[in-house]
Chains A and B, each alone.
Chain A
Amino acid sequence: MNFGVIKALVVKDFALFFRNRFYTFITILGVITYLTIYFVMPSSVDEKLELGLHAPVMPPVFEIIQQEEGLEFVLYDSKEALKDAVTDGTHEAGVALQVDIMEKFASGLKPFVTLYFSTDAPDELKDIVEALIIELSYLQTGQALGIEVSAKILGPDLLGEQIPIRDRMRLMLAIMLIMFEMMGLASLISEEVEQDTIRALLVTPMSVRDFFTAKLIMGVSLAFVQGALFMAIVGGLNSQPLIVLTALLLGSALFTGSGFLIASLAKDMLTSMGWGITLLLIYSIPAFGVIFPGTVTGWAKAIPTYYLTNTIHQASNLNAGWGDIWTDLLILLAFILVIVWGGIMALRRKFR
């Protein structure tokens, strides 16, 4: 490997990258936009649980519990009105009590309680409301109500350890920011092929290995510096910074390898953008799972960025240590090796 050659290529690539007005603009705009989005998002979590309630007769315990912080019932005159409120999204859940609830409590019988949930209510909420009703029945009578309950463990987020939406989003913003560099790199390589400058390079003492090493250095450093800077500004390095930086470095390598793949498919800047956006959307899916828990299921594990997002989320939001995330990092590394190798092979074919 010729370090003088690699240095010359890296300097050249940076110069060409920043002379492309579009990518320079997108890079600066990306940093500013994502930082703005982060800082305008609420920094605290609304921990109040608001439920719709139809109660022809209000058990005293329901009134007492409302005075406690964190739970509020909005009363509806009829069951139909309650159902409408849940259906139109006013409440994610509603509780309908029967007229004879107090008599049943008094006689030791089990009253019937109907729970309504909106279609997009997360499982955690269903568990919470079911548990809440059981708890209230115990408080009122010391016996269980006749409703179906499941003994699910509540997720940490809704047990008073919620993560502000902007901190959940921080991860996606950082990843999207560095993913844009993937398109920039792909475009730079496509241009090299399109303008045939690669042929001029290949008849110099530069080896193909030097060429790819230079592109890797350029792609990884450009993406990593932006990602690290962004995370530092938005407080993403406050918890487990070494793990977060390691994950960002690996993520930058993943996106650089993906940039090679895109460049092997693309013919010019426009097709680079097309392929890049397609891949960007796929790569973003696991990050949506962090923002909206429960929306992304097991199949997302087939997406390499799942292991990147999971690592950064666990480390920066939940203070996970090396022991918790090492398997994710290992799988991510395996994906990187396959993607970088595949990208290089595909590009080499294009150079011939």
Chain B
Amino acid sequence: MAQDAIVADKLAYWFGDLVAVDHISFSVAKGEILGFLGPNGAGKTTTVKMLTGQLKPKDGKAILLGMDVPENIEHVQSEIGVCFEDTNLYQRMSAVENLNLFARLFNVKSFDAYALLKRVGLAEREKDRVENYSKGMKQRLMVARSLVSQPQILFLDEPTTGLDPTSSEAIRNIILEERKRGATIFLTTHDMMEADKLSDRVAFMNQGKIVALDKPLNLKQKYGKRALKARVSGKSGTLESREIVLDTPQTPGDLQNLFEKENVVTIHSEEATLEDIFIKITGRGLTE
């Protein structure tokens, strides 16, 4: 069996009496994309900080590529790339200078900043100071910076938040390219569609605990409600909605009645979203 890229073993962290991360355990296989979901204050950031060596776990173990993180901090950090949610670039330096600095910190030989900037669509503004970039450009540069060392593990924290659709799509494509390269990706996001589209598996975190961890499809099957949504023409000519829940003994009869008694205009199947499932499991929304 291939070694997991990320292992959290009863990982815990607390601030005084507040337990931020409550002995969570999970693993991420090499080359896998794990969507890490949860509302603000759920403990996602603290978990990422422990996995990336920014915080020393109070209990349990954080293991990356078979190495205990706090004990092999410099070695571990030479194998990871981190893209933060908030922009933390050197504003008075150009994109090339920002990337070259990190290439030197990672001791990357013969680094081609221009090629990387081209990949994220910033090649034409390579020498402009970052302070003159738009938010989308800065975010693309942040992603580029996390790729400087061609890391084995990528931690991406809300990489597309607040971006226009084009920039978001560009970043999603890069994530998929990185997976193709063999990188393991730990994706923290609020965007359910994005998580659903990109992740091999998703983990739901709530109040410091992982409350669900599985493939999106499995979660939908396990927790979601499958249904048919129909639009019918009412007596007065207005459109009305009808819902037929699937997988129940009444389903065939309800379906037959719909077509016999109603004038069906449109009909389509509906499956639960990850957001629905999260609410169902935790009783709270992801954006709360």
CB-CB contacts below 8 Å: B113-154 with A: 145
What residues make up the interface of B, taking CB atoms closer than 8 Å to A?
Answer: 52-55, 73-75, 77-78, 80, 82, 84, 86, 88-93, 97, 101-102, 104-107, 145
A15 within 8 A of partner (CB): yes
Q: What are 22 contact pairs spanning A and B, CB under 8 A? A: A8-B104, A12-B90, A12-B93, A19-B92, A195-B91, A196-B86, A197-B89, A197-B90, A199-B54, A199-B84, A200-B82, A200-B84, A200-B89, A200-B145, A202-B54, A203-B52, A203-B77, A203-B80, A205-B75, A206-B105, A207-B73, A207-B74
Cβ–Cβ < 8 Å partners of B145 in chain A: 200
In the bound complex, CA of A196 to CA of B90 (Å): 9
Cβ–Cβ < 8 Å partners of B54 in chain A: 199, 202-203
Interface contact A205-B77, CB-CB below 8 Å = yes
In the bound complex, CA of A199 to CA of B82 (Å): 10
Cβ–Cβ < 8 Å partners of B105 in chain A: 5, 8-9, 201, 204-206
Besides A5-B104, A202-B53, A205-B106, 12 other A-B contacts (C-beta < 8 A): A8-B104, A12-B93, A16-B90, A195-B88, A196-B84, A197-B88, A197-B89, A200-B88, A203-B77, A205-B78, A205-B105, A207-B74
Name the 8 nearest CB pairs between A and B, nearest first: A8-B104, A196-B88, A204-B105, A205-B78, A203-B82, A19-B92, A205-B74, A200-B88
- Interface of B (DSSP majority class): loop
Residue ID in chain A nearest B101 by CB atoms: A12
In the bound complex, CA of A5 to CA of B84 (Å): 21
Interface contact B86-A16, CB-CB below 8 Å = no
A4 within 8 A of partner (CB): yes
Cβ–Cβ < 8 Å partners of A200 in chain B: 82, 84, 88-89, 102, 145
In the bound complex, CA of A205 to CA of B145 (Å): 14
Cβ–Cβ < 8 Å partners of A8 in chain B: 101, 104-105
A44 within 8 A of partner (CB): no
Cβ–Cβ < 8 Å partners of B88 in chain A: 195-197, 199-200
Distance in angstroms from A191 CB to nearest chain B CB is 9
Chain A CB within 10 A, most for which of B55, B73, B84, B90:
B90
Chain B CB within 10 A, most for which of A8, A15, A205, A207:
A205
For A200-235 the 0/1 string (1 means CB < 8 A from B) is 111111110000000000000000000000000000
In the bound complex, CA of A15 to CA of B104 (Å): 15
In the bound complex, CA of A352 to CA of B50 (Å): 12
Chain A CB within 10 A, most for which of B52, B84, B92, B107:
B92
A16/B93 contact (C-beta < 8 A), A195-B88, A204-B106 known: yes
Residue ID in chain A nearest B82 by CB atoms: A203
Distance in angstroms from B266 CB to nearest chain A CB is 49
A20 within 8 A of partner (CB): yes
In the bound complex, CA of A202 to CA of B54 (Å): 7
Chain A CB within 10 A, most for which of B52, B89, B104, B145:
B104
Interface contact A4-B84, CB-CB below 8 Å = no
Cβ–Cβ < 8 Å partners of B55 in chain A: 352
Distance in angstroms from A268 CB to nearest chain B CB is 14
Residue ID in chain A nearest B80 by CB atoms: A203
For A171-198 the 0/1 string (1 means CB < 8 A from B) is 0000000000000000000000001110
In the bound complex, CA of A16 to CA of B74 (Å): 26
Instruction: Tell me which of A12, A20, A203, A205 contacts B107 (CB under 8 A).
Output: A205
Cβ–Cβ < 8 Å partners of A199 in chain B: 54, 84, 88
In the bound complex, CA of A244 to CA of B106 (Å): 40
Cβ–Cβ < 8 Å partners of B80 in chain A: 203
In the bound complex, CA of A16 to CA of B91 (Å): 9
A204/B92 contact (C-beta < 8 A), A4-B104, A8-B104, A8-B105 known: no
Residue ID in chain B nearest A198 by CB atoms: B88
In the bound complex, CA of A18 to CA of B1 (Å): 54
A204/B77 contact (C-beta < 8 A), A4-B107, A195-B91 known: yes
Cβ–Cβ < 8 Å partners of B84 in chain A: 196, 199-200
Residue ID in chain A nearest B149 by CB atoms: A204
Chain A CB within 10 A, most for which of B74, B89, B104, B105:
B105
Chain A CB within 10 A, most for which of B86, B97, B101:
B101
In the bound complex, CA of A7 to CA of B80 (Å): 22
Cβ–Cβ < 8 Å partners of B102 in chain A: 200, 204
Cβ–Cβ < 8 Å partners of A195 in chain B: 88-91
In the bound complex, CA of A11 to CA of B107 (Å): 15
Residue ID in chain A nearest B76 by CB atoms: A205
In the bound complex, CA of A202 to CA of B74 (Å): 10
Cβ–Cβ < 8 Å partners of B78 in chain A: 204-205
Cβ–Cβ < 8 Å partners of A203 in chain B: 52-54, 77, 80, 82
In the bound complex, CA of A269 to CA of B82 (Å): 28
Cβ–Cβ < 8 Å partners of A206 in chain B: 105
Distance in angstroms from A348 CB to nearest chain B CB is 13
